[in-house]
Amino acid sequence: MLQMGGDTATIEEEFLRDLSLNFLLAGRDTTALALCWFFWLLANHPNVEEKVVAEAHHVIGAGNREGKLVLTRSELNRMHYLHAALTESLRLYPSLPLDIKHIVMDDILPDGTHVKKDDKLVYAIHAMGRMESIWGSDCSLFRPERWLDPCSGLFSEAHLPPFHYLAFNAGPRTCIGKDMAYVLMKTVASTLLLHFRVVPVRGHKVVPKLSITLYMKYGLLVTLEPRIGLAKESQVEA
C-alpha cells in the first residue's frame, strides 16, 4: 500500500498499477494519431506551419545545448499558438470519433429528450467538430486562431461552452490524461518542427478509417527535410 501524505488513506498497489497502465495504453495510439493528423494538416496549411515554427524558435530556439534540446514545462506553456493548432486539429480529427454513454437511470437531457435506464447514448465527436451550428460558417476550416484570445493572443477556451469540444470529453468526465497528452504532443511537435519539415510523400492517399480510434487508412508516409537555416541560427544563439 502507498500512503498519501499525512492522510490515513492508502492506495492499493494493484490499483496504482492499473491506473498507470491506463495512462500509458489509453494515451499511446490516441496521441500518435493526433500527431499524424496534425502534421498532415500543417503540410496542407504552410501559413499555420510557419507560425508554429516561429513560435517554437522564439520560445526554445536558444535552448539547444550540445545538440540536445531541453524543454521545460514553462517553455511548453508559452507555446499558445501550437496549443491552439493542436486543439484545432483535434476538433477536425478527434482521436476518438465516437463515444457511447450508458444510461443508469431515467433522465431528461437539457434539450428535453427523455432517456430511459439501460439506453445507449451515442454521439459523433467527429461530426460535432464540423457542425456549423456549433463552430460557425468556417467550421470546415483549419483555423487555430479561433482558440486564441483576440486581445492577448493567448490560448483560451473561455468563450466556448465546455460540451462543444469533446476530444477529451468534458465536465466531470474530462479525460484525466488531457494535460499529459498536450505535454507529449507539444514536446514532440515543437522539437521536430524546429529542425525538420514534415513533407507527405507525393501521391500518398490520406483518408480516415473509422474505428474506435480515427486511424489513417493507409498511414502517413512522409519525408523529413532539415530546416537548415533555423538549425544554424539556433546553434549560434546557444
Binding-site residue numbers for heme are 175
Strand partners, 148: 155
The number of helix segments (H) and strand segments (E) in the chain equals 8, 12
Q: Which three cell numbers stand for residue 57?
A: 524558435
User: Are residues 185 and 86 in contact, defined by beta-carbon separation less than 8 angstroms?
Assistant: yes
How far CA 54 is from CA of 31, 99, 166, 173, 181, in Å, comes to: 23, 36, 29, 35, 22
As a whole number of angstroms, the distance between CA 6 and CA 112 comes to 47
Could you list the residues known to form a binding site, using ranges: 175
Helix 46-60 / helix 80-92 crossing angle, nearest 10 deg: 140
Give me the long-range contacts of 202-206 (CB less than 8 A, separation at least 24): 206/40
